[in-house]
Amino acid sequence: MTSDPRILVVAPDDDLVGSLCQGLDALGWRTVTARSLPGAIQALVDWPLETVILDARMPDAESGIAALRQTVSPRRLPVLAIGPAAAGWPSGVVDIAMSAAPHAAQAALRLETLVRAAIAEEEVSLREATFASRGEPLLIPEPDASPLRVLAAGKPDRHFLALSNALTERGCDVVAAPTPYTAFDYLHERPFDATVLWGAEDHTPALSIASGMKRNTRLYHIPAVLYLRGSGEINLSELYNRGFADVAAADTPEEETAGRIVALARHHRRHVAIRRALESARGSGLTDPATGLFTPELFASHLARVADGARLRRRPLSVVVLRVSETPALVEARKGGWLDRALPQIGAMVSRLIRTEDTAARLSPDVFALALPATRGPAGRIAADRIAAVIGCTAFDAGPDRSPFVVEFEVGVAEVAPGESPARVLERASNDIRATA
């Protein structure tokens, strides 16, 4: 049994999910297996597991899901059900239903998406409470209620047309694009909740569309699904590394593939609503007027609530401090007031580079802080270094006849320890700057 498992597998035996568990373990998604629902509940009590893979052949599998989720409440628990029986369960019982075990890389990608979405949902409720306590209720918009919009890109084929019909029967608005050029025209002209790309004999057009979407910040999060003519045509790990959210073979029933696409599309639409809700805080009177980031007072209040929530949900929490380095070029830029002109843009860049569930604050004119839910200290440092590196590639105006200057950051990171106060962890993150400077 692993010492730090992330996934609870509930299955009567290894016949259906055994190879999937081995693949997930190899990818770093450690699993722990329970052979009964009472054993699964005990495993959830013993470990802060992030998600569940459920063999639909388990006795009382459908009714037992509510008990599993209630065990970890208020932490949200995404569930992936595998087996033919799961396809007939009512919508919403599980987050994903598949008739057969997916490729390990596919499962890891989908589970990561579900876990991050669950954390973002938790952050919405925490942020609502923080703003309400300070007299500025946070308005949470409902997801768009119009039909899901799916772009189907590729040459007409009976399998592809059958899938399009299955999506239409599920209430989706399907737009056909026969070439990559028309696909990108549509993607830039109107919003979509998902894209389906037909693999056909040549995968090149589908791969080019997916690659182009991943290079565009506006299209980056739209899930792309590759629909293959058959199974085993291409290295699946390579496809998931290219950014596909799902891959389906043509021998997969169209209804199941359509259901998976609809689940991805609904998740994306909900993700958009959550991001809008969290970003709406920037327009309140409680945030820093120049950057839209949290003020020190608001950040302290929210960090205390996030820390309490992390303890209650048994999730890690890390705090990052980013301080502008006093390089010679920066000293000169500060003299002329050019740094002051650049700092609002820098703050805006920080807000765009963090995840949906992260909170960014401006503690002083040139010191920023981040609260990173469900993040260990080493992962927090990687995220902070990435933000610093991206901003460090931007040149800022230094005035007439002067070369543009770049901004470097000193980074401090601290993971919240058991029983530690938010003020103390923020102090440790600040001290970490001095220790590593």
DSSP state letters, 253-275? -HHHHHHHHHHHHHHHHHHHHHH
Contact 187, 224 (CB under 8 A): no
pLDDT of residue 240: 65
pLDDT of residue 329: 84
Read off the pLDDT of residues 304-332 as tens digits, 9 standing for 90 and up: 999 999 999 999 999 999 999 988 888 88
- How many whole angstroms separate alpha carbon 314 and alpha carbon 337? 45
- How many whole angstroms separate alpha carbon 157 and alpha carbon 160? 5
Average pLDDT along the chain? 87
pLDDT of residue 2: 43
Contact 360, 293 (CB under 8 A): yes
How does residue 426 score in pLDDT terms, banded at 50, 70 and 90?
very high
Phi-psi region of 89 (alpha: psi -120 to 50; beta: other; left: phi over 0): beta
Least confident of 161-175, 241-255, 320-334, 367-381: 241-255
Average pLDDT over residues 211-224: 80
- How many whole angstroms separate alpha carbon 224 and alpha carbon 268? 11
CA atoms within 13 A on the CB side of 100: 9
Global pTM reads 0.79
Read off the pLDDT of residues 129-176 as tens digits, 9 standing for 90 and up: 999 998 888 777 677 789 999 999 888 778 788 889 999 999 999 999
Average pLDDT over residues 109-125: 87
- How many whole angstroms separate alpha carbon 50 and alpha carbon 35? 18
Q: Cβ-count burial of 353 within 10 angstroms (0-12 exposed, 13-18 middle, 19+ buried)?
A: middle
Please list, residue by residue across 165-174, b when 16 or more beta carbons sit within 10 angstroms of its beta carbon and e when fewer do: ebbeebebeb
What sign does the dihedral 354-273-186-169 (CA atoms) show? positive
Q: Cβ-count burial of 349 within 10 angstroms (0-12 exposed, 13-18 middle, 19+ buried)?
A: middle
CA atoms within 13 A on the CB side of 419: 0
Report the chain's C-alpha Rg in angstroms: 23
For residue 413, give the H/E element and its range: strand 409-415
Contact 161, 178 (CB under 8 A): no
How does residue 359 score in pLDDT terms, banded at 50, 70 and 90?
very high
